[in-house]
Amino acid sequence: MEDQENYNSRRSSIFAFAQKTGLLKAVRFLRVPHNFLTILCYHGISQVDEHLWRPQLYLSSARFQRRLQAIEALHVPVLPLEQALDQLHNGALNKPALVITFDDGWSDFASMAWPLLREYGFPATVYQTSYYSIYNRPVFDTAISYLLWKGRDCSLRDRTITGTDRTYRLAEDGAVADLTRTIHAQAAENNLGGEEKDEVLRYLAQRLGIDYDEFVESRTLQLMRPAEVAEVSRQGRMSNFIRIATSCLRTNRLFLKKFERTGIGLRKPSVNRPFTFAIPMDITGRNSGNG
């Protein structure tokens, strides 16, 4: 009777813990088919306040750790992506399992996510984009929105970056999103390159009273540099934890050369394994490019 009470108590604790951490659905692993594979796709772990800006994309470090704790408490095996897909394909997956992936290879993976994954012994696959890994500055598309959000108490009227005389009151609903689209469209129309886009970001930050050099120094919304990718890959492979894959069909050749100079090869999915590609898409369904 006491053993049954202890079992019920532990089960209730796990259930409550999963509910608290946002992983209540994970309890269903106890009832799903034996070959059930779930892939958890993460974007980023907040280094500063990104989880407040885009909570649908960024988790705080504390929340991410609680999720890892919940996975550990549920005793669900976490497998490397390639191994999990092989087992699923060959019919060898004999119990529910998880796979963890991260999009784009943001710098916060190296600084925030990887230390926690290593602590819990969970493998992960990182889909690394290349352009902003080499040109290691804030990624233009996302940085526009973030800077506008940071300056949301401001109003902005500036034909230089918007192409219009409209006044944007950033605290109003939809203003940040509208102005983000406008600035992005202006950059595309003028066919701006990476350095020119970075100057736009610097100018925008100045108009909003934000120290751009400090923002760049924080590495917020920047990708891992090739050397960081190589180091994470080296550490991960020593324990079979981390796999780095390309995130688009055309990977920047300069990135590959810089990466290869580190002595560690980049895992590129073969022609026979296209399911390990992650191709960026915009909301219209067209392939989107870098930055």
Q: In this structure, what token pair is assigned to residue 134? A: 């080499």
Q: In a 3-state reduction of DSSP, which class is residue 289?
A: coil
**pLDDT value of residue 60:** 97
Contact 184, 144 (CB under 8 A): yes
Tell me the pLDDT tens digit for each residue of 191-208: 999 999 999 999 999 999
Our separate counts of H helices and E strands in the chain read: 14, 8
The Cα 9–Cα 220 span in angstroms is 42
| pLDDT for res 233 | 84
pLDDT(278) > 80 = no
Rounded CA-CA distance 59/57 in Å is 7
- CA pair distance 280, 250, nearest whole angstrom: 12
- What residues pair up with 51 in beta bridges, in sequence order? none
**Cα separation values, 200 from 70, 88, 158, Å:** 43, 47, 12
What are the tens digits of pLDDT across the range 103-146? 999 999 999 999 999 999 999 999 888 889 989 999 999 999 99
Q: What letter does residue 198 receive in the DSSP assignment? A: H
Tell me the CATH number of domain 34-133+223-276, given options 3.30.565.10, 3.10.20.30, 3.30.460.80, 3.20.20.370: 3.20.20.370
Distance CA 228, CA 131 (A): 15
Higher pLDDT, 26 or 279: 26
Dist CA 98 CA 80 (whole Å): 9
Q: Rounded to the nearest 10 degrees, what angle do helices 140-150 and 194-207 cross at? A: 0
Domain spans of the chain, in order of start: 34-133+223-276, 137-217
Contact 70, 26 (CB under 8 A): yes
Q: 65, 71 in Cβ contact below 8 A?
A: no
What's phi and psi for 282, nearest 5 deg?
A: -95, 180
Q: Is 5 exposed, middle or buried (0-12, 13-18, 19+ CB in 10 A)?
A: exposed
- CA 82, chain centre distance (Å): 19
Express each pLDDT in 231-265 by its tens digit. 888 887 755 566 766 555 444 455 555 545 544 44
